[in-house]
Chains A and B, each alone.
Chain A
């Protein structure tokens, strides 16, 4: 068993895909994250949405909300885009690409929430959008600091040499936390007003997988 980067962090290396100097890699760890991202993206692509139960006030009657397919077209599209960005983020071998994918996840997360017509949910999307935009500063700032210090953003070159400044790692983590903060905003909004499955679930999936990947990157570099 050959460990990735010769470090005891993420298990055996499986294979890599070379796109010029960009080399995404599949270790046991990143391949597992990739697999889960694919599964949930497929669920978002093909699953029909839940039909929320709604109570009629003033009585004890309730009914299942009917959701028209055209209402879901955009939400399904951004959920799939979010899944695709997550796929890129969990296997990329380059920190700049990682930050781009992270920002794209943030944008698509806003889209998933903002595709609801309820103004309560739109408020949550707006607030999250501000957080995601602010988080871009430490996210790209961290990557810029690593580039300025080491002259490269390739995880392959940075692995194991300990050259990345600790402040840059903290900034990277803060950036990802900001981009992946969406579940806490939509958690409240989705309680009663926005349908949850399977599209909003992509927000949670992407945030979690992004967080898991940045932990691995921080430990490796």
Chain B
């Protein structure tokens, strides 16, 4: 399993690099090489590291380990066809990681990032709507069942299109430099992880690379189905590039607008779910 985790981590960091490259090219800049995020992570892993004097030491270190743990668990869950509800839970626990990372250092910059993380809890609502709609279609939340459903009935992307939109927005809200990235906005330096540096930053980078891969892989698995490894990787790449285009042409929203858009999206999907439940 360790080889899967390392591969997913490296692929996730490469996807981050591709993300930055596409954004740069759309904006008319050369951009960094696509392996830049990988190099960043390696660099951080070998830099001098300590814990700030003002930090809550246990939490400061603990959140880094938890970030790695939850996304490793999420990947294993995907590979073993586990419960989508559990994946939803792990995604929500990531919110605690963001919040804990911001609160643990004592710095006001990271604390503001953490507070924004609380108010952007609206970004979880589309995922819940997406999970509910998938349950309505397939009658199960096990990823293996959802895959089996798609083998028989074809990809869920078309019939459950609103759920796909919701999950797409969830991924968009977790991507760097996106319209919903208010928790790591530049006015807060690096937001919630401003004070995590050195090895802590390197490990968080690795965990977030894993997170990106897992979220994109989830999208492909639950909306397109089992299509083999090469096509899955291609679909992940295409998905990442579309996200990068959105990020390149969309300014970062204000916290208020960010929460409003995510809540309205969830509301629309909830209406669609009620319509399906009552009339379909």
Measured CB to CB, the residues of A under 8 A from B are 3, 7-11, 28-29, 32-33, 36, 39-40, 43, 46-53, 64, 183-184, 187-188, 190-192, 196-198, 200-201, 204-205, 208, 211-212, 215-216, 219
Contacts and interface: CB of A to CB of B under 8 A. Distances in A.
A50 B93 contact: no
A43 B58 contact: yes
Contact of B118 (A7, A36, A184, A198): A184
A208 B96 contact: yes
B106 A191 contact: no
Contacts of B104: 50, 196-198
Interface of B: 53-60, 62, 66, 73, 82-83, 85-86, 88-90, 92-93, 95-96, 99-100, 103-108, 111-112, 114-115, 118-119, 121, 128, 135, 139-142, 145
Given A9-B85, A10-B86, A29-B83, A198 B56 contact: yes
Nearest to B119: A187
Which 4 pairs, one residue from A and one from B, show the smallest C-beta to C-beta distance? A8-B140, A47-B58, A196-B103, A197-B56
Contacts of A33: 89
A11 to B, nearest CB: 4
Given A64-B106, A197-B59, A212 B83 contact: no
A29 B73 CA distance: 12
A208 B95 contact: yes
Contacts, number: 133
12 contacts: A10-B83, A10-B141, A28-B83, A32-B86, A50-B55, A50-B59, A52-B106, A64-B53, A190-B111, A197-B59, A204-B96, A208-B92
Given A28-B86, A187-B119, 9 more contacts: A3-B142, A8-B83, A11-B142, A184-B119, A198-B56, A201-B99, A201-B100, A201-B103, A215-B85
A212 B141 CA distance: 14
A197 B107 CA distance: 11
B115 A216 contact: no
Given A9-B85, A10-B83, A50 B105 contact: yes
A11 B103 contact: no
Nearest to A211: B92
B73 A32 contact: yes
B111 A196 contact: yes
B118 A204 contact: yes
Nearest to B105: A50
Given A43-B59, A183-B121, A196-B103, A50 B54 contact: yes
B54 A9 contact: no
A46 B58 CA distance: 8
B86 A187 contact: no
Given A8-B141, A9-B141, A187 B54 contact: no
B103 A50 contact: yes
A36 B93 CA distance: 8
B103 to A, nearest CB: 4
Contacts of A50: 54-56, 59, 103-106
Given A184-B119, A215-B128, A200 B83 contact: no
Contact of B106 (A9, A51, A183): A51
A196 to B, nearest CB: 4
Contact of B89 (A7, A32, A53, A219): A32
A32 B141 CA distance: 16
A183 B89 contact: no
A80 to B, nearest CB: 14
A11 B86 contact: yes
A201 B59 contact: yes
Nearest to B108: A53
A188 B116 CA distance: 10
A215 to B, nearest CB: 7
Most B CB within 10 A of own CB, among A8, A36, A201, A212? A8
A110 B108 CA distance: 24
B140 A200 contact: no
A39 B83 contact: no
Contacts of B93: 36, 208
Most A CB within 10 A of own CB, among B105, B106, B145? B106
A53 B110 CA distance: 11
Contacts of B128: 215
A53 B82 contact: no
A11 B83 contact: yes
